[in-house]
Amino acid sequence: MLYNQEEQDAVDLQRYSYILTKHWLVTATMMASVFGLTALVTFLPKPVYEAEGKLLFNKTNRASSLTGLDKQFSELSTVNQSGSPLDTEAELIRSIPMVRKTIDKFKLKDNKGKPLEIEDFLKKLKVKSVRSTDVLAVTYRSHNPQEAAAVVNTLISYYQENDIARNRTEARIAKEFLTKQLPILEARVEQAEAVLRRFKDENKVVSLEEEAKVGVEAVKDLSNQVIEAQAELEDATTRSRGLQSQLMLSTQQAVQFSTLSQSPGLQQVLTEYQKVQDELAVARTRLTDEHPRLKDLIGKQQALREQVQKRSGQIVTNPELIPEQNLQIGQLKQSLTQDLVKSEVDKLAAQKRVEVLQTALLKFQKRLQTLPKLEQRQRSLERKRQVAQSTYQQVLKQLQEVEVVERQQVGNAQIVSEALVPKKPVSPKILLNLALGGVLSVLIGIGTALMLEAMDKSLKTIEEAKQIFGYPWLGIIPRFKSPKGATAKTSELPVRDNPYSPVSAAFEMFQAKLDFSVSDKPLKVIVVVSSCPSEGSSFVAANLAVTKAHMGRRVLLIDGDMRHPRQQEIWNLSSETGLSNILVGKADLRGSAEEVLINLDVLTVGTIPPNPAALIDSQRMVALMSEAAKNYDYVIIDTPALNLFADGLMLGKLADGLLLVVSPGIVDTTLAQNTKTMIEQARSQVLGMVVNGVDSESGYYYSKNHYFKKDGDRNGKVEVKSPNISFS
């Protein structure tokens, strides 16, 4: 399989070589024309020089980045996310104002001496980014190298100035806006601070966070103190109840009694009063009621009682509630009474403390409950104040920075490479143009040859011939070229003159194949026909006759083309007496046929008649064919092309069959189809067809699907191969 592929590739190369050789004149003419035109276009125009300058771009200029305004000003960015900032800057360089300014400065002219148009300037100007960098390369082409460099340097200088001016303009506009906004923002800050201050005054807020911490601790302490005070109150209450039950006194009585017992004047009167009572009691035991001593004691007792009541009234509000026996008691009862009074005092104190602590606790709890709302409100007000202050400070800072940016003389673009005066032209590129012209000329030359080959409608392969005719092919005859020194007459008989040539071998194989074309009867009479002239039917008929004669057969070769006879030239014979003379009854076969080789006689046309078709389609022709078949083993008749005359078809009725000669590159498809139609209409028997004129130099006659190759051995034998048949 690999061998077949390699062989097919070799066949394709041979085919292209054959096509180029066939159309060498047209190919050479086209190649010379294209190359000459390329050379003319290369050397005729004036040289063009190209100067290049480069700009480096920073996303933000250094001055803006130092001020912190690189995000607001002088930042290279695009509105379209898919776009490139460098593309935008390139379009600015190519903008009409800059181009017009450059043209006016140098007063640029076109080839006609008129002011250079902007469109023509832009055709000479190129602005492109250097891959994987932030650099733009600006190039300009001109016939004047100094002009090219000056234009580039001026243009990038104009762009740099415009870039700085654009940044300063943006900063100036921003400054005007910020200046107007600053008083408004300052008023907002003052308003926010006033609202916050009023809120704190109304709600008595110093620090809600600290107040919340203190309040929580105070609530905790007050809760503990309330619990302690309630415990003390309960203790005092319990103690008071116990003392009251022992003294049988109410709290008020105990207090009054304790107060009276602690009065020295009252106790002194009470002592005297009790002493008088004792004396009166003793006196009553000894004296009568009328006794002066008894009356004196009774009066003294009454006076002291009044005195006690008077002094008691001065000390307490209701002295009548205190029995006289309780106005003066013993030390124990007095101590218990004091304890009761103290307990009551402690009870009242504890009760008051509980009330005070609970009030304070409720006050703190209520304050703590209001703190979240106050904190929320305070945070809201502080946020507003903070936002207002932050905005004001930011705007104030930006205003100061914008003033710095406005005064700066730095842009985003930096000239990293000025254009130098070019020393070598960029156009025309002589070597490149000539190389391309050479390649193009070769391609056009080869393409022209291939196009001419494609336009050639002649049959090129046996496959095409088989598709049109449908006849079996009997042999392939290589194109014969006579050796040096051979005459033109001997060059058409290679089988006789060069028996070891490939052509001779091909005819030997052809005649062997021809013998097997008819199996039911012996093959004696053969009519050689072709579709058009120059296909080599006379050549095939003559050499086939020689081949048969070499095989020991007696052969008669008849030249049936009575309009343009060829056999007499091939065999170098006279044409005084021949076929026409026999058909008109002025000669016979035996006296007209001339022996040219052993076993081979040739019957020429003789005198060219005015009506060849009438002679051919006559009884004398039938009689002649019958006589020839009796006297010879083979009768081979050479006839004119079928596209010119139907002589071959008329003679085919008298023969065993037709032998169709097909020459590659000569007969076209239309003629071939007409020939096939004529043969079918005449109902002639076709023995087969032979391919004549295969290129013997390359050894190939080929097409897309079929090829034929000759191989010669040391003895001069030839083998012809095809995809379907192989014989030697």
The structural domains of the chain, with segments of one domain joined by +, span 222-360, 459-727
CB count within 10 Å of CB 172 equals 14
pLDDT in the model for residue 488: 45
- pTM for the model stands at 0.47
Model confidence pLDDT, tens digit, residues 182-198: 888 888 888 888 887 88
Q: Is the pLDDT of residue 675 over 60?
A: yes
Average pLDDT, integer, range 678-687: 89
What residues contact 87, with CB distance under 8 A and at least 6 apart? 129
Q: Which CATH number fits domain 459-727: 3.40.50.1860, 2.60.120.1130, 3.40.50.720, 3.40.50.300?
A: 3.40.50.300
pLDDT band at 720 (very low <50, low <70, confident <90, very high): very low
Strand 525-530 to 413-417 pairing:
unpaired
Q: What is the C-alpha to C-alpha distance for residues 583 and 577, in angstroms, rounded to an integer?
A: 11
> Where do the H-state alpha helices sit in 204-263?
208-247, 251-261
DSSP state of 110: -
Which residue has better confidence, 415 or 365? 415
Which of 2-11, 45-54, 685-694 has the weakest average pLDDT?
2-11
Whether residue 609 is preceded by a cis peptide bond, meaning omega within 30 degrees of 0, is no
| Most confident of the ranges 150-154, 423-427, 705-709, 721-725 | 150-154
What residues contact 289, with CB distance under 8 A and at least 6 apart? 295
Which residue has better confidence, 246 or 446? 446
Contacts by residues 395-398 (CB-CB < 8 Å, ≥ 24 positions apart): 395/178, 395/181, 395/182, 395/185, 396/182, 398/69, 398/72, 398/174, 398/178
Model confidence pLDDT, tens digit, residues 346-359: 777 877 877 887 78
pLDDT in the model for residue 507: 92
Q: Is the pLDDT of residue 377 over 90?
A: no
What residues contact 386, with CB distance under 8 A and at least 6 apart? none
Q: What is the C-alpha to C-alpha distance for residues 546 and 610, in angstroms, rounded to an integer?
A: 31
SS3 sequence, 162-192? HHHHHHHHHHHHHHHHHHHHHHHHHHHHHHH
> Where do the H-state alpha helices sit in 408-484?
430-455, 462-469
pLDDT in the model for residue 548: 93
Q: Quote the mean pLDDT of the chain.
A: 77
**Strand arrangement of the beta sheet that strand 49-57 belongs to:** 125-129, 135-142, 49-57, 413-417
Taking alpha carbons only, the member of 237, 238, 265, 257 closest to residue 337 is 257
Q: What is the C-alpha to C-alpha distance for residues 322 and 247, in angstroms, rounded to an integer?
A: 13
Model confidence pLDDT, tens digit, residues 81-101: 555 788 888 888 888 888 898
Q: Is the pLDDT of residue 501 over 90?
A: no
> Where do the H-state alpha helices sit in 493-536?
494-497, 502-515
Q: What is the C-alpha to C-alpha distance for residues 254 and 251, in angstroms, rounded to an integer?
A: 5
The answer to whether 38 and 142 have CB atoms below 8 angstroms apart is: no
DSSP state of 492: G
Q: How far is CA 520 from the centre of its chain?
A: 75
Average pLDDT, integer, range 371-397: 79
Which residue has better confidence, 351 or 322? 351
Q: Is the pLDDT of residue 583 over 80?
A: yes
Which residue has better confidence, 541 or 266? 541
Q: Is the pLDDT of residue 513 over 70?
A: yes
Q: Is the pLDDT of residue 311 over 60?
A: yes
Q: What is the C-alpha to C-alpha distance for residues 669 and 494, in angstroms, rounded to an integer?
A: 30
Model confidence pLDDT, tens digit, residues 440-452: 888 888 888 778 7
pLDDT band at 79 (very low <50, low <70, confident <90, very high): low
pLDDT in the model for residue 597: 93
Q: What is the C-alpha to C-alpha distance for residues 212 and 218, in angstroms, rounded to an integer?
A: 10
Which residue has better confidence, 165 or 685? 685
CB count within 10 Å of CB 578 equals 27
